[in-house]
Structure formats: C-alpha cells, structure tokens
Amino acid sequence: MALDVRLALATLRRLLRLGLILLCVASVSFGLMMASPVDPVDAYLGPLVAQVSPEQRELIASRWGFDDPAPVQFGRWLQQLASGNLGVSHVYNQPVGEVISQRFTRSIALLGSAWLLSLLLGFTLGVVAGAKERSALDKLISAYAYLTASTPTFWLALLGVLLFSVYLGWAPACCAGPVGVPSQDIHLATRLHHLVLPVATLTLLGTASITLHTRARMVALMRSDIARHAFAQGARRADIAWRHGVRHASLPALTLALASLGELFGGSILIEQVFAYPGLGQATVEAGLRSDVPLLLGIALFTTLFVSIGNTLADSLYHMVDPRMRRPSKPRQTTP
C-alpha cells in the first residue's frame, strides 16, 4: 500500500520534471530561432518571397506580430502550443502536427526495427565476449565494437550504398519505395526490401555501446565470488554465463538502449539523408536548410518528448523490475 503511494509520488515528480524540461527546451529553441539571422517574413513566405511588395511585407509582419518584443511573441507561441496548434510548415504546406505524424509513422519502422535488432545483437555479442575474457572471440568482438563506435554514421551508410546497391545491385539505393509508384500501391515486400540497408546500417552502429556495456558487466560477473563459487561446484563456463550472466547483464543493456534513443534518432537523420528515406529525419534537415521555423521547433519539441520518455522509462525500469531498488531503507543520494 505504502509502496503504491510512493510509486505514484515518484511518477508524479518525474512527470513534473518532464514538463519543466519541455518548457526549458521550448524556451531555448525559441530563443535560438529569435537569434537566427533569417528574416521571419522571408521564412513565412518561403518561395513566394519575390512576389511580395514592401507594403505587403509590413502587413505580414503586423498580422503575425513579428515586430513585437520577443517575450510577447514567446507568450503567444506558448499559448498556441497549449491549444495544440504548432503552426504551418511552408516547406510541406501542411500543419506541422500533420507533417510530424506522417513522417514519424514512416520513421518508426526504421527506428523500431533498428532499435530492437541492435539491442538483441549488441546484447548477444556482449555476453559472448564477456563470458571468456581475453579469448580470441572476445578480442574480435571488442575490436569490432571499438571500430564501429568511432565510425561516422553517414560514411558507413555511404559504403553500404556503394557496395550493395552500386556494385552488387542487391538493394535499392534510395527512398521508401520505387520511384513513380503511388505509396498505397507499394507491396509490403518492396517496402521491406527498401528498408533492409538503412536498418542494417543503423543497427550496426547502435550495437557498439550496448556490446561494450554488456561485456563489462559480464567480465565483472565472471571475476566475482558468485562465478568462483559456481566454478568450484563444477559448473561449466557456458552454464554460468547463461544462468547468472544473462540475468545480471540484461537490465543494464535494456536501460542503456532506452536511454540512447537520442543517439538513435541522430543516426536516423543522417541515414535518412543518405538513403533519401522520406522520414522525420529528412524533414528535419529540410526544415533546417530551408528555414522552416515552425517545423523545426515542432520537431525539436517532439523529439525531446520522445527521448525524455525513453529516459524516464529507463529510470523507472530499475524500480519496477529489480525488487532490491524498492527497499525503503536505502537513503536518497545527492547525485541522481
């Protein structure tokens, strides 16, 4: 009973903190947009900028309040935001909310499968490498992880296109479907075929940190008294790794994967750009290059929410899964 109350209070505190952080992100990104040298009237007009006279420009500025002081504009923007109106994107000529939801539904296939695959692959590699420290397999896997950790994402994607699309012709080099076919006519198999290369690249890069982290946990376990005791009883190494190691290392791996959603999203921006995949990442780059301020702000807020939810889940996961964390005698530390 008391546990439930405490859990509810903790959740409430997390939600409040999340709101505060979202507010901070909103004000920081709005401040950045205000500081940018791009003229807001130009940004509003987009490609129509040549068709407008100076008088009309003034009319636009007074209608949308571009001449007001920054705090007034910020207040108005927040008001709009609270009523769910994110503004209109001039690159896509659609409300920002619609653009984000359309694009995100396409990205989620890429992000979700890459996330799951990198978690599974990274965890397996980490367990195998950590089970026997300094073995040949361990050295190989560690070298692979260190190598991919310092590889530029977009370079790997570029090499993938070069090898598999240009030379071998196994996978398409571009887009989410064949060019010139309406999106509702594309077969599921074709869609999956177009997803293979982007997902593989994103997965390869995502595994590195999970592999290294899992390996470190496994190595620590194999040196611990638990393992020594099991060895003394005659258990085999694979047995110990399976019975103790996997349990010991799985929660941290999951937590790390949840907490690195931001990295994953950053990777997807670059990969969508290389493969011309029409997802949220590509929309972000378009918005940045063609100064679509409402879309840029909307995406910043949306991805912050996305990443924060991942972080919050990672935090609460320990409390939900590991009963030792719920022991009330544990004092709260100063560092979070």
Partner 1 sequence: MNATQPRLRALACSGFVALLLLALLSGQWWLGDLPGRMQFDARLAPPGVDHWLGTDALGRELWARTLAGLGLSFQVGFLAALLGSAIALGLALLATLSPRLDALVRLLIDTLLSVPHLILLLLIAFALGGGLQAVVIAVATTHWPGLARVLRAELFQLRTAPYIDISRALGKSRGFILLHHFLPHALPHCLVGALLLFPHAILHEAALTFLGVGLSPSQPAIGILLADAMRYLSGGYWWLGVFPGLGLLLMVLSIERIAHGLRRAL
Between 150 and 233, whose beta carbon lies closer to partner 1? Answer: 150
Residues 229 and 249: their CA atoms lie apart, in Å, by 19
Residues 72 and 77: their CA atoms lie apart, in Å, by 9
Q: Which of 113, 252, 304, 314 binds partner 1 (CB under 8 A)?
A: 304
> What's the min distance (Å) between Cβ of 24 and partner 1?
4
CB neighbours of 314 closer than 8 A, spacing ≥ 6? 254, 255, 256, 258, 259
What residue ranges in 32-158 does DSSP mark as E strands? 88-89, 94-95
Residue 95, SS3 per DSSP: strand
Copy the structure tokens of residue 239. Answer: 């047995």
Q: Which of 153, 203, 211, 214 binds partner 1 (CB under 8 A)?
A: 153
Rg (CA), the chain: 25
Q: Which of 131, 274, 283, 314 binds partner 1 (CB under 8 A)?
A: 274
CB neighbours of 101 closer than 8 A, spacing ≥ 6? none
Q: Which of residues 251-270 bind partner 1 (CB under 8 A)?
A: 261-263, 265-266, 269-270
334 touching partner 1, by CB under 8 A: yes
Match 């190691």 to its residue by tokens.
245
Burial environment of residue 13 by CB neighbours within 10 A (0 to 12, 13 to 18, 19 or more): exposed
How many residues of this chain bind partner 1 (CB under 8 A)? 54
> What's the min distance (Å) between Cβ of 190 and partner 1?
20
Q: Which of 15, 16, 20, 321 binds partner 1 (CB under 8 A)?
A: 20
Between 123 and 275, whose beta carbon lies closer to partner 1? Answer: 275
Among 226, 209, 334, CA closest to 262: 209
Stretch that binds partner 1, among 48-56, 86-94, 109-117, 282-290 (CB under 8 A): 282-290
303 touching partner 1, by CB under 8 A: yes
Q: Which stretches of the chain bind partner 1, using CB under 8 A?
A: 17, 20-21, 24-25, 28-29, 32-33, 35-38, 146-147, 149-155, 158-159, 161-162, 166-167, 173, 261-263, 265-266, 269-270, 273-274, 284-285, 288-289, 291, 296, 299-300, 303-304, 307-308, 311, 334-336
